[in-house]
DNA sequence: CTTCGTTCCTGGAAGC
DNA sequence: TGCTTCCAGGAACGAA
């Protein structure tokens, strides 16, 4: 599942293939992922635009186009954007962006849950994008804000980490990993954390995100970067996907549970 | 305002 | 072996 580190890895690997290129044509094979505007206007609005920059906000990829337009892509669960130099169609290819140099940018998606939008810069019609919380790792997310948000919430702390309007970019993998690193149970009420625990969790969030980017993302099932390559962070996961296996720190059996509506893995001995 | 349940979608794994 | 059922989960949405 592409979370902040995966989307950032896509941005970095894709950029050299796209910047300065013009979108010559678009072929859409699954209409329902185009959320705004209609498929016709989406296609005509993109044709001829130059990709000036590729940006990321939370889990959203933002293609900065000429004419003050933004192509916004959210990969959701199984989406991928892959630069392809030849004419071959990748597996599960859903949208084909034909570029001015003859290369292709393919949007692939097994489950077709991803979303694409073409908007004007400054538009706020994508609610999930305009209501995003602060970005970790760029100094936007500070400990004061983080503590205040946790103190205000009565639900499980994991739910706050997953809430994109509270903090941008954290998904199920990095939430579980951060909570393990901080030694905090995922189902603890957010407002029950001590100041020391909040600080520990804050540092853990920054650490797991940084490590994820350094390892070019976690390929648990489907994730691939902009060149179709897998990440390596899955080799370093401590709890996610490790249910019923021994904890790498203490040897206790990692437990699977359900917190905030998500599958959750944690160590009952290391996390309190 | 928060919180929770439902929905979307496909393929792989588990169960019978 | 082959069929059916369940599960993976990010975000939008409606309801409490």
Q: Report whether pLDDT(A269) > 90.
A: yes
Q: How far is the CA of A111 from the C1' of B6 (A)?
A: 18
pLDDT digits (tens, 9 = 90+) for A207-231: 999 999 999 999 988 899 999 999 9
Q: How far is the CA of A223 from the C1' of B13 (A)?
A: 19
pLDDT digits (tens, 9 = 90+) for A82-107: 999 999 999 999 999 999 999 999 99
**Strand B within 7 A of A155 CB:** yes
Q: Give the pLDDT confidence score for residue A222 in this predicted structure.
A: 85
**Strand C within 7 A of A1 CB:** yes
Q: Give CA–CA dist A272/A262, Å, rounded.
A: 19
Q: Report whether pLDDT(A266) > 90.
A: yes
**Strand C within 7 A of A242 CB:** no
Nucleotide closest in space to A172 (CA vs C1'): C9
Chain A residues 46 to 75 with C-beta below 7 Å from nucleic strand B: none
Q: What is the pTM of this model?
A: 0.96
Q: How far is the CA of A155 from the C1' of B1 (A)?
A: 14
Using pLDDT thresholds of 50, 70 and 90, give the confidence band for residue A1.
Answer: confident
Q: Which nucleotides of B are covered by protein (CB under 7 A)?
A: 2-6, 8-11
Contacts of A67 (CB under 8 A, 6+ apart): A49
**Strand C within 7 A of A58 CB:** yes
Q: How far is the CA of A158 from the C1' of C1 (A)?
A: 43
- Averaged pLDDT for residues A164-169: 96
Q: Give the pLDDT confidence score for residue A90 in this predicted structure.
A: 95
Distance, first Cα to last Cα, chain A = 27
């Amino acid at each position: 599942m592409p979370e902040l580190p995966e989307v950032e890895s896509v941005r970095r690997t894709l950029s050299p293939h796209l910047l300065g290129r013009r979108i010559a044509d678009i072929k859409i094979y699954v209409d329902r992922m185009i959320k705004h505007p209609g498929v016709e206007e989406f296609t005509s609005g993109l044709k001829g635009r130059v990709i000036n920059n590729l940006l990321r906000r939370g889990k959203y990829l933002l293609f900065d186009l000429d004419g003050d337009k933004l192509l916004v892509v959210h990969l959701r669960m199984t989406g991928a954007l892959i630069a392809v130099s030849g004419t071959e169609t990748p597996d599960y290819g859903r949208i084909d962006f034909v570029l001015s140099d003859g290369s292709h940018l393919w949007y692939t998606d097994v489950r077709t849950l991803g979303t694409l939008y073409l908007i004007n810069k400054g538009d706020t019609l994508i609610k999930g994008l305009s209501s995003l919380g602060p970005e970790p790792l760029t100094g936007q997310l500070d400990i004061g804000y983080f503590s205040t948000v946790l103190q205000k919430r009565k639900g499980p702390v994991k739910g706050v980490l997953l809430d994109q309007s509270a903090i941008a970019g954290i998904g199920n993998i990095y939430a579980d990993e951060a909570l393990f690193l901080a030694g905090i149970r995922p189902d603890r009420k957010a407002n029950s954390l001590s100041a020391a625990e909040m600080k520990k969790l804050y540092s853990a969030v920054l650490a797991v995100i940084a490590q994820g980017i350094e390892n070019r993302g976690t390929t648990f099932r489907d994730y691939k970067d902009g060149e179709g390559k897998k990440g390596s962070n899955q080799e370093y996961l401590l709890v996610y996907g490790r249910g019923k296996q021994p904890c790498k720190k203490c040897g206790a059996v990692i437990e699977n549970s359900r917190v905030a509506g998500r599958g959750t893995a944690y160590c009952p001995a290391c996390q309190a």
